[in-house]
Amino acid sequence: MTEPPPVPRPGMPEGPPWPGAPGAPPLPPHVRNPVWYALITRAQHAATEVEDFCLPAWRRRTRGEKRWPVTITVAVAIVLQLRLPDQLSLRPVPSVLLPILEAALGIALIIANPVRFERQSVALRWASLVLILLITAANAASAVRLIQEILGSRAGGSAGPLLASGASIWITNVIAFALWYWEFDRGGPVHRAHATIQYPDFLFPQMTVDELTPPDWEPRFLDYLYLSFTNATAFSPTDVMPMARWAKLTMAVQSAVSLGLGALVIARAVNILPG
């Protein structure tokens, strides 16, 4: 005769349902004592929960990060592209076509994950990559056109519009690379939330100092935006170290683009400033 299952106490891990309870799976054929089997199963479940809780948040399964920082940042990039002069747009494509495509993709991604990045599929992954690629391609074309205008002495005689265009391209460049870092580090935001990939592509300071890091800390989009900004201004890693080879090469490309664009724009603006 088996004993009745104990009454759960407040705070006790839920674990699998007891034998005979609604939704309980059938017992294996070798089990002779259902209550003893349920106690062992629940103990194993509790041990797994404790082990997961002891891990830092960036190494265990957590909720997906909120969407609104990414949405606002992408909207800023689209607005900056729309404010650029027509001669800096990707030719022969109309200047408003790429921002319209970017906005359409952004709306579709918002519908798929309206609040948090928790759903993942091949279609959503490709849509996100195409959106980032469009932003990057449009901004790269604008940067090339601006450099051609400067080298061909066709950038105009006023320093204000030149600096404004250069600043818009530079800020969009920071946003584009932040999106690339955020999308590819450990497989992207959904994979990071599910903790499916163990080894990080970027080493943040919080990953190395457990006693000074909140237990629920994990890298979010704003961390990657900060990484992109510091790399574009210092032209080298600051506090975030690239671990993967693709991360090192991407940061090198961003540093080179930022250095070349900034040097040319500032040099030309200084030359045409009124004495």
Torsion, Cα of 265, 268, 273, 275 (10° steps): 140
Q: What pLDDT score was predicted for residue 36? A: 57
Q: From CA 81, how far away is CA 60, in angstroms rounded?
A: 38
Q: From CA 189, how far away is CA 222, in angstroms rounded?
A: 12
Q: What pLDDT score was predicted for residue 82? A: 87
State the Cα angle at 77 between 76 and 78, rounded to 5°: 90
Q: What pLDDT score was predicted for residue 155? A: 62
pLDDT of the chain, 275 residues: tens digit per residue: 444 444 444 444 455 565 556 656 666 666 566 665 666 666 555 545 544 557 888 888 888 899 999 999 999 999 998 888 877 776 666 667 778 888 888 888 888 888 898 888 888 899 999 999 999 988 988 888 888 887 776 666 677 778 888 889 999 999 999 999 999 999 999 999 988 888 999 999 999 888 888 888 999 999 999 999 999 999 888 899 999 999 999 999 999 999 888 888 877 776 665 55
Q: What pLDDT score was predicted for residue 160? A: 75
Q: What is the pTM of this model?
A: 0.78
State the DSSP H helix or E strand holding residue 241, giving kind and residue range, or none if neither: strand 241-242
Q: What pLDDT score was predicted for residue 67? A: 92
Q: What pLDDT score was predicted for residue 31? A: 56
- 4 dihedral zone (left: phi>0; alpha: psi -120 to 50; beta): beta
